[in-house]
Each structure stands twice: as structure tokens, then as C-alpha cells.
Amino acid sequence: MVASAAATDRDAEERVQLILRDRWVSYPQGAAALERLAELLRGARRTRMPSLLVFGEPDIGKTTILKKFMRGREPIFDEGTGQGRAEVVAVEAPPVADEARLYGAILDAIGAPVPRGGIVDLERATYAQLRRLDTRLLVVDETNNLVIGSAGAQRRTLAALRRMANQLALSFAFFGTAEALNAIMSDPQVEGRSQPLRLSRLANDADYAVIVGAVVAYLPLRQPSPCDDALVECVHELTTGSPGKTFRLLNAAAVRAIDDGSERITIDLVRSAAVVRHIQTAGAMRRRSKAVAA
């Protein structure tokens, strides 16, 4: 009996881990972003390389899209030639606009030593490493951070990006919130070569029903969970069409279904406080409190 209970607990935990691990569910907006990113790697190098700015509010799917794009694009080491290659390098923008910290983040991302010295040494080391790896695309996440700091620091950091693009024939893929758009627009030359792609909330339409259906079908529950119009409408109402919240809500409901033994997704379960709390934010709670007080 004890062994049986332990096996049951282990099975439940394995299924929970399967639910909570990162995975990709294709949807039109996400697929379009991936296509635009892949386009940056096509064609020969040229004087003016194209770039992309992917922006939108939090929980709109930026991080998931970026992780999906980077999957399978890890640095490659050719044992025959002894040379490494990293066609794409992804970094997070420093917490404030800072040219030196930007170079340091790039060197850290590719596992290269960060030289002691001034900004010129950092720039030379970064250029040398990106040339050695034959990097074609630099992904900068949290680009909105570049609006933080003094005006001079912002200009210098954007100028560093512009020089990199010119000297190395690099494309950029910038990711961030709406403030990332402000950061890029503050340098006309960087803005001029960066096509914007705004991610928006999903409408409650046939595509959204397909997304919810695909997520529910994946969930390793022991009982069937009919994904009808009522469930889709409920999920959309609670998440307001945010891709991140949609996935997080359904994942939380599946974990709860395993924990309470119901083993299926229902509207009552999705609406339960134990599940909804996983998508609540401080801002939403504050707005709800104000509405009740009014």
C-alpha cells in the first residue's frame, strides 16, 4: 500500500513537472513574430542590415517567442576547424543605459572574458568576439531599460549599438515593453532600420479557441476536459486575451486538478480562487478594489 501511494505521488509530480515546463503552442501572432525574426538571418550581409523591434505590454508573449526562436540556435563548435560559431547572440539590456555594461553583457553571453580597462578595450573585445563567432543577429531583451539613466548615457548606449551594426554588419532584434519603442526612437538612425512589430491581446475568436483547445489537449489529466465555447469564453474573460495569462491560467488549473483529484478542467475550477490567483497582479487587484469602493 505504501509503495502504491509513493508511485501515485511520483506519477502526479511527474505530470505536474510536464505541465509547468516551457513549451510552445503555435498561434498566428507568435508565428508571425518568429517568421519576422527568421527573415533577419536571410540574405547576404549588406551595408544597411535590417532590424526588428518586438514590443508589447507585459504577459503578451515576448519572452515565450524569444525562447522559441533561440531554441536550436545555441553556439556551435566545429571540432574539425577548432572554430566556434554563434549566428545569434541574445543578451538582456543592462538595468540602466550604460555602454560598458552593454559590452560586458554581450561578452558574458558568449562566455568570453571581460577585459579590465576602459570602454575602448571593451568595445574591441566585443567586436573581436562577434567577428570570431560570425554573429549575424544580436537580440537585446528588455530594451525598455535603455530609457533609464541620464540622457547622455542613453545616447552613448544607442550610439554603441549603431556602431556595432555598421562595423559588424549586424542585424538587431529588440524586445521590450512600449518604452522600448521610445528608447529606439530616440536615435533616428537606429529607429530608421528597426521595423516595429507590436504584440497585442488576442481576440475571443476561432484562433483563440484553437489555442485554448491545444493547451487543454496537451494537459496530462486522467479525465477528458471538453473544450467548449463556454470554457473558452471563461478563459478569455479572466485573461482578457493575454497569451501569457492564458497559458498560466490553464496550467494552474491542470495542476489544481491533479492535486484535488478531479483530473479535469472545468469552468468552476478555472474560476476558483486557487487558480485565478496565478494570474492576478497588484495593478489588477488595485483596480478591482477601487471599483468595489466606488
Compute the average pLDDT of residues 218-226.
93
Nearest C-alpha neighbor of 258 from the set 63, 18, 56: 18
**Phi–psi pair at 5, nearest 5 degrees:** -65, -40
| 126 pLDDT above the threshold of 70 | yes
| 288 pLDDT above the threshold of 50 | no
Banded pLDDT at 9 (limits 50, 70, 90): confident
Banded pLDDT at 77 (limits 50, 70, 90): low
* Cα–Cα separations (whole angstroms), residue 32 to 41, 180, 213: 15, 20, 20
Residue with C-alpha cell 466606488?
294
Whether 79 and 136 have beta carbons less than 8 Å apart is answered as: no
| 284 pLDDT above the threshold of 90 | no
CA distance 185 to 174: 12
In this predicted structure, what is the pLDDT of residue 6?
60
In this predicted structure, what is the pLDDT of residue 254?
96
Which residues in 64-99 are b (16+ Cβ under 10 Å) and which e?
Answer: bbbebbeeeeeeeeeeeeeeeebebbbbebbeebbb
Considering the entire predicted model, what is its pTM? 0.86
* In the chain, % of residues over pLDDT 70: 91
Banded pLDDT at 198 (limits 50, 70, 90): very high
Residue with C-alpha cell 465555447?
229
3-state SS, residue 159: helix
Q: What is the pLDDT of the chain when averaged over all its residues?
A: 89
In this predicted structure, what is the pLDDT of residue 76?
76
Compute the average pLDDT of residues 101-129.
94
Nearest C-alpha neighbor of 179 from the set 227, 125, 143, 225: 143
Compute the average pLDDT of residues 130-145.
95
pLDDT digit string (tens) for 20-52? Answer: 998 898 899 999 999 999 999 988 777 788 999
In this predicted structure, what is the pLDDT of residue 293?
47
Banded pLDDT at 95 (limits 50, 70, 90): very high
- Tell which wins on pLDDT, 139 or 280: 139
Strands annotated E in the chain? 51-55, 76-78, 83-85, 88-92, 137-141, 171-176, 194-198
| 193 pLDDT above the threshold of 90 | no
In this predicted structure, what is the pLDDT of residue 5?
59
| 121 pLDDT above the threshold of 80 | yes
User: How would DSSP label each residue in 195-250?
Assistant: EEEE--PPPSSHHHHHHHHHHHHHS--SS-----HHHHHHHHHHHTT-HHHHHHHH
Whether 220 and 19 have beta carbons less than 8 Å apart is answered as: yes
